Amino acid sequence: MSIHIQESSTQAQACVIWMHGLGADASDMAGLAEQLSLNEVAVRHVFMDAPVRPVTLNNGMLMRAWYDIIGMQLTDREDKEGILGSQLLIQEVIDTQIKEGFSAKQIFLAGFSQGGAVALYTALQRTVALGGVIALSAYLPLAIDCQAALPKDTPVFIAYGQYDPIVLPIWTKQSADWLVAKGYNQVTLHNYLMEHAICAEEINDLSNWLTTQVKGGL
């Protein structure tokens, strides 16, 4: 596991830790971050590379993955050992950023697809508040066993494509409903006319949301 850091030109007011999707790498999320319009706030972006592991769904091919996926059904995606291992890796990066001067409230966990799943899961295990969570085309894994310790006023940005054939829209909506049922009152749910992707409208909405959250935390 490696990380890549993109510093802001001025003193960073927040830190976003990014997790990519299955088979991608840190450069994928770096490309997304570059498209955000965050002119009003200074943000450090930290991009994580997932470990390389065999993925059952892809005939055991070695690729970067936060956890194994057995099949196409949601219940086929519950590689608990892999998810918990990735949670620990992400927690290490959070701890490092705190040691470098960020408060927990200045840190955001963000990810796309599988990366968004581990971002959401990892955030929910924390007892100390974060600045927010960003889950793009993702869902909450291990929801049946998940004990939500994260403070209920944590802002959460969830987005999905209406025609996503990989992470089905119903999975994302059920995850958002789960959060609301647990008492999370700052959940923002967006959907877009796309498949398993990122679109310009989504980037604009995320830019506005992130700017608002960072400003609100100053």
Q: Which long-range contacts (CB under 8 A, 24 or more apart) does 75-82 make?
A: 77/141, 78/141, 78/142, 80/142, 80/145, 82/53
Strands 14-19 and 43-48 turn out to be parallel
Cα 5 from Cα 15, distance rounded (Å): 10
Residue 145 known to be catalytic: no
Residue 113 known to be catalytic: yes
Nearest to 159 by CA among 189, 186, 183: 189
Q: Which of 86, 113, 137, 175 is catalytic?
A: 113
Q: Which of 4, 8, 190, 196 is catalytic?
A: 196
Residues 6+ apart with CB under 8 A from 208: none
Give the phi and the psi of residue 157 in degrees, each rounded to 5.
-105, 115
Residue type, 163: Y
Residue 164 known to be catalytic: yes
Q: Which of 164, 190, 205, 207 is catalytic?
A: 164
**16 has which bridge partners?**
45, 108
Active site residues: 113, 164, 196
